[in-house]
Amino acid sequence: MDFDSVKGKVAIITGASSGIGKAIAMCYAKAGIKVVCANRNSQKGEETVNTIKSAGGDAVFFQADVSKAENVKELVDFAVHTYGRLDGMVNNAGIGLGGTPLHEYSLDEYDNIMSLNLKSVFTAMKYASQAILKSKSEGGFIINVSSIAGLMPQSGQSLYTSTKFGVIGMTKSASLEYAPYNITVNAICPGYTVTPIFGDAPDAAMNFFCSACPTGRMGQPEECAYLALFLASDMARYISGAAIPVDGALSAGARNVIQWKHPEILD
């Protein structure tokens, strides 16, 4: 068994124009997966596809706002129409929203983040699972990008945390339903990862994220992509219903005071 098992599979990746989604798209295409890159922003989406094609990969772009159910259905139909089948769906598109106590969030903010971070995962799983079943895929997979916020609630993040807990719950339920039909369903839970999601966050916030990481650094998007590739491969057929952190031990527990008895071992 090796990564060759992914060659020729067809997968959709949402939010493929930047950050973690782009890293997954590039990694999949390099390994021989035919990639349908979905994004709201067509210019950046086309750029990702052109980069993949110029490196010899097979990819197409579909413009979709995945918070709209009809766009998600059209996206899945487009993938099947283009490549004749569907094997995998990576639900990565999402937004951050945070740093605010719960009572300061507006009802509109609630609706917006729920429809993108959670409802889109439901609609994509709803339509993609049917397409994967109809394709009689022997290596079907669904990967939902949650967050360490789905494992470990954080202050100022009541809405984001709710969506990411929801993604993990949906992942686990669906994994039970599709296990008999050879479709794995897993969640990837990134820790603080260097992507445009942080926008123009102040230096103090970025410094906080770095210092919060036990590794002393933030993650790189490719570090999530390598796990996504493994989960797409036939080496991972017995892994389903899992929520796997890629966070340099950030969600493993709380740090405490520690004093080495023999620090000279590092000399």
Ligand X SMILES: NC(=O)c1ccc[n+]([C@@H]2O[C@H](COP(=O)([O-])OP(=O)(O)OC[C@H]3O[C@@H](n4cnc5c(N)ncnc54)[C@H](O)[C@@H]3O)[C@@H](O)[C@H]2O)c1
Which of the residues are catalytic?
A: 160
The interface mask with ligand X, positions 61-100, x = CB under 6 A, is: ---xxxx------------------------xxxxx----
Task: Output b/e per residue, 74-95; b: 16+ Cβ within 10 A.
Answer: bbbebbbeebebbbbbbbbbbe
Which of 116, 131, 174, 231 is the binder for ligand X (CB under 6 A)?
116
User: Among the candidate windows 33-41, 78-86, 126-134, 249-257, which touches ligand X by CB under 6 A?
Assistant: 33-41
Please list every residue from 144 through 163 that binds ligand X, using CB under 6 A: 145, 147
Q: Which two tokens stand for residue 99?
A: 């740093």
Which of 57, 139, 190, 248 is the binder for ligand X (CB under 6 A)?
190
Considering the complex, what minimum distance in angstroms separates the CB of residue 218 from ligand X?
7
- Which amino acid does the sequence have at 57? G
Phi/psi region, residue 164 (left: phi>0; alpha: psi -120 to 50; beta: rest), is alpha
Considering the complex, what minimum distance in angstroms separates the CB of residue 207 from ligand X?
15
Angstrom distance (rounded) from CA 141 to CA 153: 27
Please list every residue from 193 through 222 that binds ligand X, using CB under 6 A: 193, 195-197
Q: Is 165 an interacting residue with respect to ligand X (CB under 6 A)? A: no
Residue with smaller CB distance to ligand X, 20 or 139: 20
Residue with smaller CB distance to ligand X, 17 or 158: 17
H and E: helices and strands count for the chain: 8, 7
Closest CA to 163 of 140, 147, 179, 142: 147
| Cα angle for residues 123, 224, 140 (degrees, 5° grid) | 45
Q: How many CA atoms lie within 13 A of 64 on its CB side?
A: 31
Which of 5, 17, 157, 171 is the binder for ligand X (CB under 6 A)?
17
Q: How many residues bind ligand X (CB under 6 A)?
A: 28
113 CA to centre of own chain: 16
Considering the complex, what minimum distance in angstroms separates the CB of residue 144 from ligand X?
9
Residue with smaller CB distance to ligand X, 183 or 224: 224
Q: Which residue has the tokens 């917006």?
A: 112
The footprint of ligand X (CB under 6 A) covers: 14-15, 17-21, 39-41, 64-67, 92-96, 116, 145, 147, 190, 192-193, 195-197
